[in-house]
């Protein structure tokens, strides 16, 4: 069964932006929706609260005005009652004298204080004089205010519907002189005046609706004629408008709206492009009967427009903020996604490279094995061919013992070559036995150079450059000495002009792993290597010498690797070579009491 390739094992990169932006946008839309709903609710609450506060204010102000105007009327009456001439005229039932005495005062009260009625009535409630309608007199006054005032013998005031179909604030007060009642004074003002004053103070319109059971059609018509108004009796089934501060009633104010208002609710209607908020205050007459309702009309068009604009601007600002937040997130996520994709691609590439590297390694191993087998075969083949040829020669010349002995000597020498080669191979395989201990590198170099001296024929000068401080390293001294020896032999083989070989020990960092260590290098000024040769020098049995084994540098590399180090090669054809064994610092130690051996020549 075929294994899935590493490329297939990698998941597709996730779409980070798509995963985050959509839910974030949804959350923002939800928050904005809740925000807008909350604002709308708050606005509706504020408006409702405002209208109910205003309605309560209208109710209070209306009652206060009634009381204030009643007090003014009482003061006016008391002033009248102190006037002897008027008292005499009243007692004498002298209408002409009354008219003469009081006409100017009434005119002034009417013009300046909107007083519309002034009555002088007998103790038996028969009217003596009406200043607002002097032609009418002699009728019995049976209105509630008058009767209550007579019964209580005190000033009585309140709203009352009159025969003329108007709603009037009336004040009736008994006139007592020398301990007896000489008659009653009545003074009144129309509700129109009261509501227009409230309108000015509170900026609301008002409509006085009276229950049709309290006023007859005829009465109402009289009132409309008096106020020079043309109302519609049939507009509402149960109520009729008696006074109002608006020119015409809103068309949308219908029966249903009215019923809801009377039930204590507030209503919002549209009239000619304007928004009106309505509520009601019950109207009670002097005997506390509910005679109708005062409809409070508040124009909230401006308020609504302002609110709409504030909603629009708040929404626009929050939209902008949301878009900004989304934008910032988008950019950030874009970067994250970009990095993520790059990392993903790198991971992908790495896996591919790993797979390829594995294959190449396999190929290289096979080709190294091929080279190795070829070299071994070659190395063994030459002496063996010699052995066979010499043996054949010996067979032929068996009669000549001297010649045969010579040939047998050659055969032994070829056999010894083979044994030497096999011995080298066995040495190579022994390198993997590894025993480390703290070692002075200076001493190690010195021993190796002495050994090299004994084996090397050309007596090339060897120069050693050591650091000031003696260096101790925990290494396998036999292996490192062997490696250094190999390097010295190679350098000597490459040197043809008798120039010196230089051994250097210096601190050096491994830039790829970031660890410090020491570099033990052998420099020569010999023939150097071509790039093609350099590529193969670590392949076992690769050699350019006819008598070489091709195992020197592979052993050096193996020793370096056993110490967690590496071999660095620098070479230029015709100029020389530098081959350095780099060993990590962790295996080094310093002993200051040993005196430095800075430089030595052998
Ligand atoms: N210092 C050097 N200068 C030039 N060539 C070198 C040097 N060291 C090694 N070489 C090349 O590397 C080859 C492999 O070296 P090595 O593994 O020691 O095997 P051998 O010495 O038996 O040939 C040598 O044959 C030679 O061509
Ligand atoms: Mg060698």
Tokens of 384: 């063996």
- Ligand 1 atom at minimal distance to the Cα of residue 553: 17
Pocket residue to mutate for ligand 1, from 375, 490, 501, 545, most atoms within 8 A of Cβ: 490
Position 598 pLDDT exceeds 70? no
Long-range contacts of 301-310 (CB under 8 A, 24+ apart): 301/273, 301/274, 301/275, 303/47, 304/275, 307/43
User: Residues 89-99: what's their mean pLDDT?
Assistant: 93
Among candidate residues 341, 363, 361, 343, the one with its CA nearest the CA of residue 353:
361
CA of 266 to the centre of ligand 2 (A): 111
Ligand nearest to the CA of 556: 1
- pLDDT grade, residue 407 (50/70/90)? confident
Contacts of 271 (CB under 8 A, 6+ apart): 250, 251, 252, 253
Q: CA-CA distance, 322 to 517, in Å (whole number)?
A: 58
Question: Are 174 and 153 a contacting pair, CB within 8 Å?
Answer: yes
Ligand 1, CB within 6 Å, residue ranges: 486, 490-491, 494, 524, 526-529, 533, 537, 542-545, 548-553, 577
Q: CA-CA distance, 130 to 378, in Å (whole number)?
A: 156
Among protein residues, the one with the nearest Cα to ligand 1's atom 23 is 543
Ligand nearest to the CA of 577: 1
Among protein residues, the one with the nearest Cα to ligand 1's atom 24 is 543
CA of 204 to the centre of ligand 2 (A): 116
Q: Which helix (H) or strand (E) holds 510?
A: strand 501-510
Position 84 pLDDT exceeds 70? yes
The more confident residue out of 495 and 319 is 495
CA of 178 to the centre of ligand 2 (A): 158
Position 428 pLDDT exceeds 70? no
% pLDDT > 70, the chain: 93
Residue 138 has a pLDDT of 93
Residue 17 has a pLDDT of 78
The more confident residue out of 509 and 7 is 509
Position 191 pLDDT exceeds 90? no
Ligand nearest to the CA of 567: 1
Q: Which helix (H) or strand (E) holds 244?
A: strand 239-244
CA of 578 to the centre of ligand 1 (A): 12
Q: CA-CA distance, 310 to 181, in Å (whole number)?
A: 66
User: Residues 231-260: what's their mean pLDDT?
Assistant: 90
CA of 543 to the centre of ligand 2 (A): 8
Q: Which of 32-46, 175-189, 305-319 has the highest mean pLDDT?
A: 175-189
Average pLDDT, the chain: 86
Residue-wise pLDDT for 197-220, tens only, equals: 888 888 889 999 999 998 888 888
Q: Sign of the C-alpha dihedral, residues 321, 323, 324, 325? A: positive
Q: CA-CA distance, 584 to 474, in Å (whole number)?
A: 10
- pLDDT grade, residue 430 (50/70/90)? low
Q: Which range is least confidently modeled, 35-49, 100-114, 230-244, 461-475?
A: 35-49
Residue 12 has a pLDDT of 67
CA of 582 to the centre of ligand 1 (A): 19
Position 596 pLDDT exceeds 60? no
CA of 486 to the centre of ligand 2 (A): 6
- Ligand 1 atom at minimal distance to the Cα of residue 522: 1
- Ligand 1 atom at minimal distance to the Cα of residue 538: 17
Assign 3-class secondary structure to 357-421: HHHHHHHHHHHHHHHHHHHHHHHHHHHHHHHHHHHHHHHHCCCCHHHHHHHHHHHHHHHHHHHHH
Q: Which range is least confidently modeled, 122-131, 322-331, 494-503?
A: 322-331
CA 287-289-293 angle, 5° bins: 130
User: Residues 274-293: what's their mean pLDDT?
Assistant: 89
Among protein residues, the one with the nearest Cα to ligand 1's atom 8 is 490
Largest CA distance in the chain: 202
Q: CA-CA distance, 330 to 18, in Å (whole number)?
A: 9
Phi/psi of residue 65, each to 5°?
Answer: -65, -40
CA of 418 to the centre of ligand 1 (A): 21
Q: Which helix (H) or strand (E) holds 490?
A: helix 477-494
Among protein residues, the one with the nearest Cα to ligand 1's atom 7 is 490
Among protein residues, the one with the nearest Cα to ligand 1's atom 12 is 537
Q: CA-CA distance, 35 to 313, in Å (whole number)?
A: 13
Ligand nearest to the CA of 542: 1
Per the listing, tokens 């002995």 go with: 405
What are the angstrom distances between the C-alpha of 174 and each of 71, 126, 131, 151, 400? 15, 13, 18, 10, 187
Q: CA-CA distance, 232 to 224, in Å (whole number)?
A: 10
Residue-wise pLDDT for 4-20, tens only, equals: 444 445 566 667 777 88
Position 28 pLDDT exceeds 60? yes
Among protein residues, the one with the nearest Cα to ligand 1's atom 4 is 528
- pLDDT grade, residue 429 (50/70/90)? low
Among protein residues, the one with the nearest Cα to ligand 1's atom 13 is 543
CA of 556 to the centre of ligand 2 (A): 10
Ligand nearest to the CA of 540: 1
Position 431 pLDDT exceeds 70? no
CA of 543 to the centre of ligand 1 (A): 6
- Ligand 1 atom at minimal distance to the Cα of residue 526: 3
Residue-wise pLDDT for 360-386, tens only, equals: 777 767 777 777 777 778 778 877 888
Q: CA-CA distance, 295 to 267, in Å (whole number)?
A: 11
Among candidate residues 238, 236, 246, 241, the one with its CA nearest the CA of residue 223:
241
Residue 6 has a pLDDT of 47
> How does DSSP assign 124-183, residue by residue?
TSBEEEETT-TT--S-B---HHHHHHHHHTS-EEEEEE-TTS-EEEEEEEEEEETTEEEE
The C-alpha R_g of the chain, in whole angstroms, comes to 64
- Ligand 1 atom at minimal distance to the Cα of residue 490: 8
Residue-wise pLDDT for 441-468, tens only, equals: 999 999 999 989 888 888 899 999 999 9
Phi/psi of residue 378, each to 5°?
Answer: -60, -50
CA of 490 to the centre of ligand 1 (A): 5
Q: CA-CA distance, 146 to 555, in Å (whole number)?
A: 139
> How does DSSP assign 247-306, residue by residue?
SS--TT--HHHHHHHHTT--EEEEETTEEEEEEEEEEE-TTS-EEEEEEEEEE-HHHHHH
Query: 3-state class of 239 per DSSP?
Result: strand
Residue-wise pLDDT for 555-594, tens only, equals: 899 899 889 899 999 999 999 999 999 999 865 554 443 3
- pLDDT grade, residue 132 (50/70/90)? confident
- pLDDT grade, residue 44 (50/70/90)? confident
Ligand nearest to the CA of 489: 2
Q: Sign of the C-alpha dihedral, residues 550, 553, 554, 559? A: positive
């Amino acid at each position: 069964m075929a294994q899935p390739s590493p490329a297939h094992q990698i998941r597709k990169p996730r779409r980070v932006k798509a995963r985050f932006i959509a839910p974030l946008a949804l959350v923002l839309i939800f928050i904005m929706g809740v925000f807008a709903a909350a604002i709308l609710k708050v606005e509706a609450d504020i408006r409702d609260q405002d209208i109910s506060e205003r309605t309560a204010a209208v109710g209070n102000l209306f009652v206060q005005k009634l009381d204030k105007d009643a007090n003014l009327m009482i003061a006016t009456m008391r002033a009248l009652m102190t006037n002897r001439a008027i008292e005499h005229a009243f007692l004498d039932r002298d209408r002409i004298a009354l008219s003469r005495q009081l006409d100017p005062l009434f005119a002034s009260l009417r013009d300046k204080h909107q007083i519309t009625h002034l009555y002088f009535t007998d103790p038996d409630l028969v009217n003596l004089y009406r200043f607002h309608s002097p032609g009418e007199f002699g009728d019995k006054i049976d209105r509630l205010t008058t009767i209550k005032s007579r019964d209580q013998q005190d000033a009585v005031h309140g709203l009352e519907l009159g025969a003329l179909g108007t709603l009037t604030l009336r004040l009736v007060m008994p006139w007592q002189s020398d301990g007896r009642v000489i008659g009653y004074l009545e003074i009144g003002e129309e509700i129109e005046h009261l509501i227009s004053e409230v309108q000015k103070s509170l900026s609301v319109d008002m409509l006085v609706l009276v229950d049709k059971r309290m006023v007859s059609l005829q009465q109402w018509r009289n009132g409309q004629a008096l106020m020079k108004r043309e109302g519609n009796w049939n507009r509402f089934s149960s109520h009729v408008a008696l006074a109002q501060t608006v020119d015409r009633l809103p068309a949308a104010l219908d029966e249903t709206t009215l019923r809801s208002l009377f039930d204590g609710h507030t209503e919002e209607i549209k009239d000619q492009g304007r928004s009106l908020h309505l509520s009601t205050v019950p109207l009670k007459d002097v005997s506390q009967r509910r005679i109708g309702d005062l409809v409070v009309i508040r124009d909230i068009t401006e308020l609504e427009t302002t609110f709409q604009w504030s909603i629009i601007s708040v929404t626009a600002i929050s939209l902008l903020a949301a878009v900004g937040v989304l934008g910032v997130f988008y950019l950030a996520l874009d970067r994250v996604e970009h990095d993520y994709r790059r990392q993903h691609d790198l991971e992908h590439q790495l896996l591919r490279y790993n797979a390829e590297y594995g294959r190449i390694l396999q190929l290289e191993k096979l080709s190294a094995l091929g080279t190795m087998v070829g070299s071994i075969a070659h190395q063994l083949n030459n002496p063996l061919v010699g052995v066979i040829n010499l043996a054949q020669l010996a067979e032929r010349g068996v009669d000549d013992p001297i010649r045969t002995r010579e040939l047998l000597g050659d055969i032994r020498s070829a056999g010894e070559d083979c044994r030497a080669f096999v011995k080298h191979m066995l040495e190579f395989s022994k390198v993997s036995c590894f025993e480390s201990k703290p070692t002075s590198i200076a001493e190690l170099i010195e021993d190796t150079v002495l050994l090299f001296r004994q084996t090397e024929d050309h007596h090339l000068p060897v120069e050693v450059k050591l650091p000031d401080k003696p260096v101790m390293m925990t290494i396998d001294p036999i292996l490192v000495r062997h490696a250094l020896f190999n390097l010295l032999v190679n350098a000597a083989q490459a040197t043809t002009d008798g120039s010196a070989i230089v051994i250097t020990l210096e601190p050096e960092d491994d830039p790829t792993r970031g660890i410090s260590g020491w570099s033990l290098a052998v420099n020569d000024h010999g023939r150097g290597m071509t790039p093609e040769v350099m590529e193969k020098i670590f392949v076992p049995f690769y050699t350019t010498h006819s008598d070489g084994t091709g195992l020197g540098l592979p052993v050096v590399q193996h020793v370096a690797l056993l110490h967690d180090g590496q071999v660095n090669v620098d070479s230029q054809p015709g100029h020389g070579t530098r081959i350095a064994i780099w060993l990590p610092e962790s295996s080094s130690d310093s002993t200051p009491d040993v005196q430095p051996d800075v430089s030595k020549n052998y």
